[in-house]
A and B are shown apart, each in its own frame.
Chain A
Amino acid sequence: MSTQKQTLPNGIAIIINDDGILQKIIHDSFGLFSLQGDGTISFVDCLESDSIPKAYQFIERINTNDVAYGWELHVSDGDDISLFSFSGIRIDDENLLIGTANPDDTEQFLNGLMDMNNESINKLRTFMKEQQQSAGSQDDEWAMYDQMSGLNNELANMQRKLTKKTAELERMNELKNQMLGMAAHDLRNPLTLIQNYALFLIEDHEEQDIFTDDQFQLVREIKQSSEYMVQIIENMLDISAIESGSINLDKKDEDIGKLIERIVSLNRPPASKKDISLNTNLPDDPIIKKVDAHKFQQVLDNLVSNAIKYSQSQTKVEVGVSDGSDSAITIYVEDEGQGIPEGELDDLFVPFAKISSEPTAGEKSTGLGLAIAKKIVEAHGGDIQVESEVGVGSTFFINIP
């Protein structure tokens, strides 16, 4: 062993006093201290400023425990900063420190220094061995590990609970959608029947008076109510299909201007009935976008018919397109209706959320239309927004990328 020449890994071995002032350089393969020399060089001079408080703690630890090992400090060598592992021991009111760039080198570095037959180093090595052996039994370390494991256990428990709850909720939601779908289908068929029979009665009555006026009014109520119920059911089916993730878009290149014109013309009769003027403001060139024409018209129809529903007579509704950035476009539907209080704007798109604004001519609303519109627009990668002022009017914006 002694004949074998060991190469000394890079490291420093110095002796400092309790204030960190350098007393002696035993070995300094990096030349960290050798260039300075007016007698008051501090150990911390070779460190990055971030590591200095820790360095004083390190010296403090050596003072209280007589030995400290494995402290990582950032050593600054000119422009380079590297992480050193330091160990130290107290010898006769002074502190012997050694530091290596790689903690695994420490042992080898000490062996190398021992070959140089340095007694103090020998002592440090012995202490470190003992310290390492008893390290596992240090109470505070054990307590810390237990604390960490305790935290970890709590996290693991929480994660278990969360995953279980999530799985349960997913199952329940799936079940809810299934039930909703089933109920809606089972209700729709008889309702359509009622709706049609009411229609037959109305037609019969129009051919030859078979009802008194009161009776005829009842039959019309039956027809209107059943139509409304069918509409609710269709919306519910839409929502449950959308929420169970089965919203299938059949996207094709469509001229958005044409879609708008079609919806506007469909809504002209109810608008003129309420004496509301319905205008469009469209660019001359076609605006081609990849959309599902049927679903997109459903969205437009919802916004336009709402604008009419919630506006007083002798007001104006305008549907138009404004250019957005890049190829994005914004479709707007602007009315001069009663407006929506600010606190209720967030609820607008929530299924069945009731708001204080009422249709102006006793029209009915299912409370689902805007929720569906939002989902459809989002499925197209866009979003839907609203600006409103009570007494002035509302504008809905559909942004399509």
Chain B
Amino acid sequence: MPGSDRKVVQELEAHKEELAELVTSMHFERHPELYKKYGEEGRKKCYEDTIYHLDYLEQAARVDSQELFNNYLGWARTMLKERDIPQSDLFDNIVILREAIKKTLPDAETSSLLEYVNEGLSSLQNRKTEDISFLDKNDPLFDEAREYLDLLLSGERKEAAQLIEKLVNGGTPIKDIYEHIFQKTQYEVGALWQKNKITVAHEHYCTAATQLIMSQLYPKIFSMEKSDKRMVACSVADELHEIGIRMVTDFFEMEGWDTHYLGANMPDSHLTESVKEKNADVLAISVTLPLHISRAKKLIQKLREEEELKNLKIMVGGYPFKVVPDLWKKIGADASAGSAYDAIEIANRLIEN
């Protein structure tokens, strides 16, 4: 019940730092060897991780989604495992978190939270770690995507750009390049980081290079015929993940929509003004980290209060909406889409009605 969870969310938010502090001390008290091994830095890290766990727990409670929390724990486990950190560490930490919640928060508020934690713990025990890869031999352009990624990972962005240029000149549709090369390699880069195969620096490099290479295709995209459908897109993502919604926006542009991408850092009030000014039919909001769900929710609420925007259709997309299929309803959007192609189809349907 999201309604009855409201108080518990407030309590959790108010005591987050206190809880993280308590969990960290308890964890290091029980495992003195950790301090010897990792020192003060390790303590700091443990505190930060606990804040993360609590953030996700809070978001799960906010939108009433156990799956969101379970999914996060699964992700964290894979990430830690690849960095040679035993998964018992994560498990212990969550067990301690449970105790800390019991100690810190008022009894009446804890029961629903503890349910999330308990379910999360059992999912940690039952879920298998999967070896994820987003590049599939059967996909169109598989070889090209592989080559593109290899070039980027070895720092050869110019060669990667040439590869794309060659494909475009050879008649490969730009949409296919977006979908099967840019998008899939971006996912793969994320997975490689999670598996500790590449560093954060690599990840940023690949993203930056792909953005640059995408921009070479802009003159082709923007010279296409336009209809009178208008779409505005924005993102409440972090810097690394902004590229996804820009790709979606370009897809709309390629479908003849008049699009405007407003970036990730625009304050809500400016955004509202821009949506009005551009006379948008559809606003697409991208959320990549579940932590940002509540921000998106607030933004949507604000937009809904505007009389002038009563015909505006709001779509949301991004990782959390894949994990929790009906999440878009809970934050007040009109629809969500799993892929750029779906997004266009749904947007067309939304504005027809």
Contacts and interface: CB of A to CB of B under 8 A. Distances in A.
Contacts of B199: 135-136
A149 B208 contact: yes
The 9 closest A-B pairs by CB, nearest first: A167-B222, A163-B218, A149-B239, A156-B211, A145-B204, A150-B239, A152-B208, A159-B215, A164-B222
B351 interface: no
Nearest to B239: A149
A284 B41 CA distance: 92
A157 interface: yes
B126 interface: no
B223 A167 contact: yes
Nearest to B250: A160
Nearest to A153: B242
A134 B44 CA distance: 13
B263 A153 contact: yes
A153 B264 CA distance: 9
Contacts of A200: none
A68 to B, nearest CB: 16
Interface in A166-205: 166-168
A146 interface: yes
Nearest to B44: A139
A154 B266 CA distance: 11
Given A152-B211, A156-B212, 8 more contacts: A136-B200, A141-B200, A149-B208, A153-B242, A157-B261, A160-B215, A163-B219, A167-B223
Main secondary structure of the interface of B (DSSP, over half): helix
A244 B273 CA distance: 36
Nearest to B214: A156
A148 B41 contact: no
A157 B207 contact: no
Contacts of A146: 238-240
A142 interface: yes
A98 B204 CA distance: 30
Given A163-B215, A163-B222, A156 B246 contact: yes
Contacts of A160: 215, 218, 246, 261
Given A149-B239, A153-B264, A134 B41 contact: yes
Contacts of B201: 141, 145
B45 interface: yes
Contacts of A157: 246, 261, 263
A137 interface: yes
A153 B211 contact: yes
11 contacts: A141-B200, A145-B201, A150-B239, A150-B265, A153-B211, A153-B263, A156-B243, A163-B215, A164-B253, A167-B222, A168-B222
Contact of B204 (A149, A156, A163, A164): A149
Contacts of B212: 156
Nearest to B215: A159
A135 B41 CA distance: 12
Contacts of A168: 222
B99 to A, nearest CB: 26
Contacts of A159: 215, 218
Nearest to B198: A136
A173 to B, nearest CB: 13
Interface in B236-270: 238-240, 242-243, 246, 253, 261, 263-265
Nearest to A167: B222
Contacts of B242: 153
Contacts of B246: 156-157, 160
B223 A145 contact: no
A150 B212 CA distance: 14
A167 to B, nearest CB: 4
Given A156-B215, A163-B215, A145 B200 contact: yes
A217 B92 CA distance: 107
Nearest to B238: A146
B218 A149 contact: no
Given A156-B246, A160-B218, A160-B246, A149 B223 contact: no
A148 B261 contact: no
Interface in B258-303: 261, 263-265
Contacts of A145: 200-201, 204
A134 B214 CA distance: 33
